[in-house]
Structure 1
Amino acid sequence: MSSFQLNLNPLKEPLGFIKVLEWNLRKHHYISLSIFMTRKTNLQLLFETSKYPQIASIFAFATCGGFKGKTEIQVACLTNKSDNKTITATFGYPFRLNEASFQTPQGVNVCDVDWKSHVLIGDYSSAAEFYVTFAVFVFLYCIAALLLYVGYTNLYRDSRKLPMIDFVVTLVATFLWLVSTSAWAKALTDIKTATGRNIVQELLPCIQHRVICHFGSVTSMGSLNVSVIFGFLNMILWGGNAWFVYKETSLHSPSNTSTSHSQGGIPPPTGI
């Protein structure tokens, strides 16, 4: 409205009215174009931040941290070999197998053996907890990075330190994904051995032939296998993501800040 007040009466000078109308249309065109480009940039950043594996990190710690399983052994006494009893050892995250004792039906002693004093072998909590804790921290960092990219785009693009910090964190995260997943994969292999068929060769009552032991079953560890797969998948995602983050740093484009300023603005409309 101020544009019409500053110019001649459009009824007296039609050309002035047309020129003012043209200027207003151009002005709103530039504003609309600017809004569109801003939204497009934020949308592109949103898709770019999807390279942060939020979902992959969730699956990584959820498939490992929520696991519960058990291993069963069939035992029979020498006095009555046909009377089989099932003893069970329950285990789960953080996989301190040396704290998983065997339980008998109704809690009674089978073959005069105190099975509660016998436990599984091994403590793999360090590898499991390191893997899960790191995955949780990665998820929290992804959320913070997402808010920074989308909510504070200009702050990120105009800063020289934030992209560099992001790049260093990405490289460190890639390396730690490799270390934590490899350690957890080795621990998982040992867990399968400690809870599998070889368990009857480790139990003292079975070795002393006081009872006859036969391996029964063990809970499927497919979800734990998936956790290892997601660990290596996260490593690949973060390794690939390092290239995209690198392009935002001054190492790739020393004049990144000045370039963003020159390309970010839209030339104002010329005079009427």
Structure 2
Amino acid sequence: MSFLIEPETLLESIDDYTIIDTRFELMDQTKGQQLYESSHIPGAVYFDLNKDLSSVPKKHGGNHPLPDETTFTDKLRSIGITPETKVVIYDQGNAMFAARLYWLLDHYQHPTVRVLNGGFDRWKALGYPVTSVVKRKPMSSTPFVRNDELIVDIDYVIEHKDDFNITLTDARSLERYLGQTEPLYHKKGHIPGAKCFDWQQVLNSDGTFKSTAELEEVFKDLNKDEEIILSCGSGVSACMNYLALKSLGYKNVKLYPGSFSDWISHPELPVETNQE
């Protein structure tokens, strides 16, 4: 799959890439930075989910609103990214936070981005080099242009979620989708009309991505000619399904960044706990 890079390929030409470490833990929000400082792939820089890949939450907009444009593009320039830069992103092992950055780079139309298949766990398991040395990158002055066709907001979801040619999806686990458990939010369930496509279904048990044939089976109920709206809890894990669907040739795929956490910030909006 074109969005992936294998560890051995990265090792062979590591100096050709700008490598970004996105490790993070939702329940311990300093852990990712600590892991990076302790050990990372040589040359990698760190992007934090809260500080770099999101903006500060407000009353509405979800728990991980998209980052401010100036702040995010300044961060990209601070590590020297230009249109010619080949970027590799990695996470601990399941790629969820790497997928968020991949989507953001697509949103800002950066042409060459790859996700390390199996993440840092697989890199270490193969005995490849790691370091605690943090290196500064030269700055660039690259302009970035957003592609807002990749985004929908809550008003769009309210207006179009029941359209016959649009499918709203929810990437959270079936248990959270059904409201059987909810570790993060004050309401349980899902946006009415959303279909459950658990993001963990795109991965093998070792954190690598499933084959194209296996992914086709996971998403067989989605029509490639229709619009797909991706959601989850706060617009992070849904990006895993974005990676998979893009690799399968789905063209009209959009992210609702606020997702369920934005939806439930409006108390008048209903939630469902039944299988759609």
Tell me: higher relative CO, structure 1 or 2? Use CA pairs within 8 A at least 6 residues apart.
1
**The structure with more helix, counted as a fraction of residues:** 1
Rg larger in structure: 1
| TM-score normalized with structure 1 length | 0.19
TM-score normalised by length of structure 2? 0.19
